Amino acid sequence: MIQTIKDTLFVAIQPAGYPFIGIAAAVTLLLFVFVQPLGWIGLALTAWCTYFFRDPDRLTPVREGLVVSAADGLVQSVLPAVPPPELGLGDAALPRVSVFMNVFDVHVNRIPVDGTVRRIAYVAGAFVNASLDKASEANERNGLVIDLADGRTLGVVQIAGLVARRIACWVSEGEQVRAGQRLGMIRFGSRVDVYLPEGVAPFVGPGQRVIAGETVIADLRGQEPARLTERR
């Protein structure tokens, strides 16, 4: 019980957020000095900025073949879609799980499966609402192709949103990665698409909340059909 309370109250902060938190705190201090009523607004914004950059550890299932969510948030869609051309995954539609992150979700993204990063492709673009399907093609994005041990490939695409203006990627081409490993971050409010290998059935449905590095979204070794979901 004590450990649970501690983990809830004292969550690690992603170092990439320190400059933003520091700037917000400095502005808040100036507001308290010169325009005190506005200082309370600055304090609230500083608290939110600190909350935004939280980076909690995750308990990742380690059984071979499991694919975990790459992002915290709401499953926006689960449908076949042609991957962005820069990934080089072909013109055939693949099972795609899209997760939308609002400004209150943890924004540290995670590697969904064990493998080797074959390609990283950044594409400049627009900043339309990330919840719209056209965001997969129109928005600024950063894509990864991960080669799996069995010869198949998986694609992950970080997509900037209406407010997001910066995509950070913390892995490099040729790097061996593990499921649950920190992949990068998008500021502020955005979306992550995972393109599963052909024939792999997603385990999640639209409207479901998922946790990066923890929620299993597919099983590369499974034979069952896609799981259907309904609101009850």
Catalytically active residues, by annotation: 190
Phi and psi dihedrals of 190, rounded to 5? -170, -160
Question: Residue 226 to residues 64, 91, 118, 218: CA-CA distances in angstroms?
Answer: 19, 22, 27, 9
| Preceding amide of 10 cis, omega within 30 | no
Phi and psi dihedrals of 46, rounded to 5? -65, -40
Residue 97's SS3 state is strand
DSSP character at residue 85: G
Lookup result for tokens 């939280």: 54
Report which of 23, 41, 112 is spatially closest to residue 72, judged by C-alpha positions: 112
Gyration radius of the chain over CA positions: 19
Number of H helices, E strands in the chain: 4, 13
